[in-house]
Structures are given as structure tokens and as C-alpha cells.
Amino acid sequence: MLFNVSALLNEPMGAKRRHTLDAEDRDGSRPVQGAVRLLRTGTGVLVSARLIVEAELECGRCLVRFGRPIEIAFEEEFVPERDPLTGLAPAEVDPDAFRIDAQQHLDLSEAIRQYEQAALPIAPLCRADCAGLCPRCGDNRNEGSCDCTIDDDDSRWDALAALAAQLRQEEDPRGAPEA
């Protein structure tokens, strides 16, 4: 997502440009769609974007890779490496600020990547009723059942169950509920 902002940088503060995106990301692997507004500020260009990016995810239950559209919105100021009128570097610029390169091209790719990463779900699911993997053999339960038998007996809880029984016994040594 490369924009030539040389004309915009030579206009007064408040000058605007609007763009509609229906393109692919920088490496050409997935679509990016939405609207972008560029606003000339005193120090650079304020970018306001509402975009939909096709994210490549891995299901948190069955580990299948799948694509899902992710909506992102952001406002970020991009600052030029050099002032277009004087050719001098800006006095004080945040080192983490997004930059407009020396050819006065504004590249949205890194901003889109960062906001997409922040918008990704923590545990994505390929579908709401995903059955996940069998804990014994690792087969994908969405593709069919396996021959494993799953025991309900989980020995990790035996000590806690014994303690609970002991506490109940101490409360009422006769084993009958208190009245």
C-alpha cells in the first residue's frame, strides 16, 4: 500500500485525500480492502484507515490453518524523513513514528501488519463447533471419530478427592448431614 504524497506535503495543513483500497498486501499474498483518508498536518500526514484484511490463522483446537477477514481501524501520523520545502530533517521526531521515505512515498504495510496482529483473536477457532484433536492419538475429530477409548478416570484428581472426602468425614463423623 504505497501512496505518493509529494503533492499533499506541499499543500497547506488541512489538505485531504481519500482513497479506496481493493488491493493485495505488499507480498501479494492476501487482499486488503477499505477506505483510507490522508490529512496534511503540520509535521506530516495523518492516515485514518478502516480496512478488512484476510488473516491466515491456525485453529486453537484442531490446528487446521484457515483464513478469516479481520477488520482493523487506525489513525497514525506519518512523518517525512526530510521536510519537502527545506530539505532538512525534522527537529524532534519519535523514533517509533511511521515514516514517509525520501521519495515522499507513504507505505501503509507496516501499520497494517501491526494493527492486524493486535486484532487477531487469542484462540481462533476454524468453526464454533470445532471438536479439536483426540488427546490420545491426535486425530482431528472434525474429520471423523477415532478408535481410542477415553477414560473418565483422571488420577491427577485422586489426592484432592481424598481430601474432600476426609473433610466431609471430619464435619460429620457419622456420615449423616447436620440438621
pLDDT tens digits, 60-81: 999 999 999 999 999 999 999 8
**1: its cell numbers:** 500500500
3-state SS, residue 140: strand
Do the Cβ atoms of 44 and 100 come closer than 8 Å?
yes
Instruction: Report percent pLDDT > 90 for the chain.
Output: 58
pLDDT of residue 27 exceeding 80, the answer is no
* pLDDT at site 49: 96
The contacts found for 127-133 with CB under 8 angstroms, 24 or more apart, are 130/59, 130/61, 130/62, 131/61, 131/62, 132/61, 132/62, 133/61, 133/62, 133/63
Mean pLDDT of the chain: 87
Q: Is the pTM higher than 0.85?
A: no
Judged against a pLDDT cut of 60, whether residue 176 lies above it is answered with no
Statement: residue 177 has pLDDT above 60: no
Question: At 109, which amino acid appears?
Answer: S
pLDDT at residue 137 greater than cutoff 70: yes
Give Dmax over CA atoms of the chain in angstroms. Answer: 93
- Taking residues 142-146, report their average pLDDT: 89
Helix or strand or coil: residue 79?
A: strand
Quote the CA–CA distance of 108 and 47 in Å, as a whole number: 9
Neighbours of 49 (CB within 10 A): 22
Lowest mean pLDDT among 89-93, 94-98, 114-118, 156-160: 89-93
* Mean local confidence (pLDDT), 139-163: 83
Per-residue model confidence as pLDDT tens digits over 37-52: 999 998 899 999 999 9
Q: Is the dihedral of CA 113, 119, 121, 126 positive or negative?
A: negative
pLDDT category, 28, cuts 50, 70, 90? low
d(CA 133, CA 136): 9
- pLDDT at 179 (0 to 100): 46
Phi, psi angles (nearest 5°) of residue 40: -70, 125
CA dihedral sign, ordered 172, 174, 175, 177? negative
Residue 30 cell numbers, joined: 492476501
Decide which of 90 and 80 is more confident: 80
